[in-house]
Structure 1
């Protein structure tokens, strides 16, 4: 039987603390439940703490239309929610398999959940992302060349979205479900080697753990959390710099932009490029900073030019 990590609080305690810290006491939440281990633990755990927090709870499950067996999984989620005394909403989509199916399914699912949240007058949507998801996301983004902003990983909270299990590991989830004697489904997409996340989960992360001699999941997730805090600080400083350097008629003060430290000049320059509709990547930013330093012009995507002339960058 899986055992919860002894150094962390129980899953229900972690859930209660997360909901309280994010101000959900006496408020309402829509739980996104697929029937997998993580979301099932979210469902059962939230049902255990809802009275203590005076939390209004409803459940949503989405059939993406990609697997015939998903209909049975939806039925199991509806049944579990009913046994816990919770209203469950079923939404069925008609996605097509093929390139980018994981991203397309995620986008459609979140859009569907947000519409349902508004229809039901609920404050937040909650998903079952865990420490392991955070670690996997960080490794995926770093491998693609992400900077600090990308290293933030999965956010614990967005305007109408909360991830209250983000401090719990998948081991904690499995231990909780075993203790509660609650079953869950295994999505075959989670074992599909054509998906990047699957390869990170089944190959990369275990290899990293073996090389380190210990589980790196919590360390990776901690780095993502600290990166998020650092990025928030730098983003605030960059916003202040933008306000200070923005010139009437458009563009930025070139002298002031050159005086910024690299982490701030990149962010301010990126904001200028994005506001014009130009594509932004690391190589473009570095070439742009060179133009700002020397003066002159450089071509950007979609026919744009970045110019640093007459004391103005535009």
Structure 2
């Protein structure tokens, strides 16, 4: 399981050094079990294993819990082991998203400084099922419903096929006493409600295989999302025109020739290149409606202060005749002529 996840990471680099793998360890059952398995694996001398403990400072006693997790990791033989305290900023995101952003920033920093080959995350099949249910509740698209990928860049999730009770059994086998984060039971958080109330209810009503079925759906959708993203990236490269001064142009006829699933992704890629955050489905549909050539020519706000409007190419034509030009995407720093831009922050 772990060996399959690490793959090429286990090979020594060109300098002959044994690769360093870091475990993101909170001290909870999942990450502590992962640290124990990784420590055992390191005894083969095919890799070195260290740990990073992130203290979010969001609750009383968090520093003590972080030091306890670090001590447990050192007791397993992991080296180096670092504790990083982060500041969770209130920047418009929810508390869970803000904490996640701060956590990954810390993990990125430590991994880069220590030249780590991989960072292991202890997410389990139960976490994956919860992620899919949250995505369904939000009305999300394919990528979100695909849940968490087994690998993204340096980050690996070798426990996505394990249930939470199995990680607890691993901790018991090694005589470890994991820390249980009280926020995991706090109904103020949506994920906690899904974990404590929604998923147990579904398993009671639909059968104990619901979590595994949701995780299997995520795996299937992940393959679909990978293909759609590859095709949309190819389409975007073929259509994208640099309009100068930070604007991007997308030919209307080229967009209309695409299936809706690719067309919306191409529009999103253009918005993201200009610095927007991921546009919602409703905003992408509003941008797509500009291609109907009915009503307003825009602008449509795509989020992150990026807008799109329709531009007619060439000379005017008689009313009712076909006319194709470009959709023009721009940010507030590069408004097209005659385009009135709203400076109010967009709400998703």
Q: What's the TM-score bracket when you normalise by the shorter of the two chains?
A: 0.7 to 0.9
Structure 1 pair 274/73, CA: closer, same or farther in 2 (3 Å)?
closer
- For residue 261 of structure 1, the aligned residue among 241, 259, 262 is 259
Deviations 1:124-157 (A, max 9, x none): 2211111111111111122111111211211222
Structure 1 pair 234/309, CA: closer, same or farther in 2 (3 Å)?
same
- For 1:200, the equivalent position in structure 2 comes to 194
- For residue 270 of structure 1, the aligned residue among 268, 273, 278 is 268
Structure 1 pair 272/60, CA: closer, same or farther in 2 (3 Å)?
closer
Secondary structure of the corresponding residue to residue 122 of structure 1? coil
User: Pairwise mapping of residues 279-290 of structure 1 onto structure 2 (< 5 A)?
Assistant: 280-290=279-289
Contact 1:59 1:89 in 2 (8 A): yes
Could you say which structure has the greater relative contact order, defined with CA pairs below 8 angstroms and 6 or more residues apart? 1
Contact 1:278 1:300 in 2 (8 A): no
Q: C-alpha displacement at 1:195, in angstroms?
A: 0.5
Secondary structure of the corresponding residue to residue 262 of structure 2? helix
What is the distance in 2 between the residues matched to 1:74 and 1:248? 49
- For 1:39, the equivalent position in structure 2 comes to 31
- For 2:84, the equivalent position in structure 1 comes to 91
Structure 1 pair 246/17, CA: closer, same or farther in 2 (3 Å)?
closer
Deviations 1:63-90 (A, max 9, x none): 2223333333233323322322222212
- For residue 58 of structure 1, the aligned residue among 50, 56, 62 is 50
User: Any unmatched runs of 5+ in structure 2?
Assistant: 13-18, 314-323, 329-348
Name the Cα RMSD after superposition.
2.5
User: Pairwise mapping of residues 102-113 of structure 1 onto structure 2 (< 5 A)?
Assistant: 102-113=96-107
Contact 1:278 1:304 in 2 (8 A): no
Mapped pair 1:293 → 2:279: no
Deviations 1:40-68 (A, max 9, x none): 10110111112336111111212222333
The number of residue pairs the alignment matches comes to 300
- For 1:167, the equivalent position in structure 2 comes to 161
What is the distance in 2 between the residues matched to 1:95 and 1:54? 36
Structure 1 pair 226/273, CA: closer, same or farther in 2 (3 Å)?
same
Secondary structure of the corresponding residue to residue 128 of structure 1? coil
What is the distance in 2 between the residues matched to 1:247 and 1:65? 46
- For 2:145, the equivalent position in structure 1 comes to 151
Question: Higher helix proportion, which one?
Answer: 1
